[in-house]
Amino acid sequence: MKKHNFSAGPCILPEEVLKKASEAIINFNDDNLSLIEISHRSKSFVDVMEKARSLSLELLGLENKGYKALFLQGGASLEFLMVAYNLLNKKAAYLNTGTWANKAQKEAKAFGETVEVASSKDKNFSYIPKGYSIPEDADYFHCTSNNTVAGTQIKAFPETNVSLVCDMSSDIFSRQLDFEKFDLIYAGAQKNMGPAGTTLVIIKEEILGKVERHIPSMLDYQIHINSDSMFNTPSVFAVYVSMLTLQWLKDLGGIPFIEEVNNKKAALLYNEIDRNPLFKGVVEKEDRSNMNATFVLTDENLKETFDKMWTDAGISGINGHRSVGGYRASMYNALPLYSVQALVDVMQELERTQK
């Protein structure tokens, strides 16, 4: 039986997606050729790219609203740099909610002034700062919707006239938001959408073309838009699997459906963390992530017993990030509710052995 995969990324994907992807490796579209040995300019693949782009906009409710979807390479980490290259003239504002947010700001410093509007570093990123103000003259405000490492998630985004840019790598397509508030959204595929190797970038096209500097072609969003996300050979396999996952999500009922499932999974686990005296959560309750739940044992001496129990139960990937320790259970879209139940069962079993 397949393991219960709580990996933080690359992450679990739906079984039916894996099955279709494996078939396409041998014989794609009944063309008697493999998906990964055909031209990316062939109609078969161009259709895949177009489908992936249109499904992304459709699921987010951003069709016909001036947005373009791109599937680029270089991971979310390259977007840290591309965002600044394409949008930063003088000043940009950043919210520091953890490792990734911090890295994004660091890359932008090469292109202008960056202002850290607030930070939760004082408490090891265990909460989301609130009530900060964003300088009116900033070219954009950058935030990270979900802190994959510490397990916090922004529930309310600031009201501002400044352009909103958001790294949604670890919670895109997991919950309903007013996506029109954002001018640029990016997300590495490997957290909630597909395999590693491609990054979804959603851009309101009108925000481009406002910087003076020369932008190298591969880093220029406008060039990627003009070539329909095919400026160079795209990561065909990663784009194809992402497309299958987006289609899977649409067939289930889209974001409204999966949000409900995600809420159920998160409630099941957090209720157990709060109920069971052997465990405690590590972040502020109101800022808890529905994607990555972080928790620790109240008695470290139980670590060996607990680790053996969940391993024996076929659970994988819940060791915490090295900077936080403890445990991190990532509950991305494709993780079934019964996997969360399996983890909760083990937590309850541990409690029984201590009585």
Give CA–CA dist 306/147, Å, rounded: 26
Range 6-25, binding ligand PLP (CB under 6 A): 9
Closest residue to ligand PLP, based on beta-carbon distance: 75
Among the listed ranges 56-64, 73-81, 120-128, 208-216, the one in contact with ligand PLP (CB under 6 A) is 73-81
99: exposed, middle or buried (Cβ count in 10 Å: 0-12, 13-18, 19+): middle
Q: Does the N-terminal peptide bond of residue 10 adopt cis geometry, omega within 30 degrees of 0?
A: yes
Closest distance of CB 144 from ligand PLP, Å: 5
> Which CB, 76 or 258, lies closer to ligand PLP?
76
**Residue 167 is among the residues annotated as catalytic for this protein:** yes
**Residue 121 is among the residues annotated as catalytic for this protein:** no
Catalytic one of 68, 139, 167, 265: 167
Task: Decide if residue 120 touches ligand PLP (CB under 6 A).
Answer: no
Closest distance of CB 94 from ligand PLP, Å: 13
Task: Decide if residue 194 touches ligand PLP (CB under 6 A).
Answer: no
Task: Decide if residue 100 touches ligand PLP (CB under 6 A).
Answer: yes
> Which CB, 56 or 169, lies closer to ligand PLP?
169
Q: Find how far residue 340's CA is from the centre of its chain.
A: 19
Closest distance of CB 168 from ligand PLP, Å: 8
Catalytic one of 191, 204, 248, 287: 191
Task: Decide if residue 170 touches ligand PLP (CB under 6 A).
Answer: yes
R_g of the chain computed on alpha carbons = 21
Q: How many CA atoms lie within 13 A of 26 on its CB side?
A: 4
**Residue 106 backbone dihedrals phi, psi, to 5 degrees:** -60, -45
> Which CB, 9 or 151, lies closer to ligand PLP?
9
**Residue 248 is among the residues annotated as catalytic for this protein:** no
Catalytic one of 68, 100, 139, 183: 100
49-78 exposure pattern, b = at least 16 Cβ within 10 A, e = fewer = bebbbebbbebbebeeeebbbbbbebbbbb
Helix (H) or strand (E) holding 166: strand 164-167
Q: Among 129, 158, 188, 254, indicate the residue that binds ligand PLP (CB under 6 A).
A: 188
Give CA–CA dist 140/115, Å, rounded: 11
Q: Find how far residue 213's CA is from the centre of its chain.
A: 30
Task: Decide if residue 148 touches ligand PLP (CB under 6 A).
Answer: yes
Q: How far apart are the first and last CA of the chain?
A: 31
Task: Decide if residue 77 touches ligand PLP (CB under 6 A).
Answer: yes
* Number of residues in contact with ligand PLP under rule CB under 6 A: 12
167: exposed, middle or buried (Cβ count in 10 Å: 0-12, 13-18, 19+): buried
Task: Decide if residue 191 touches ligand PLP (CB under 6 A).
Answer: yes
Among the listed ranges 39-47, 71-79, 201-209, 274-282, the one in contact with ligand PLP (CB under 6 A) is 71-79
Catalytic residues: 100, 167, 191
Residues near ligand PLP (CB under 6 A) are: 9, 75-77, 100, 144, 148, 167, 169-170, 188, 191
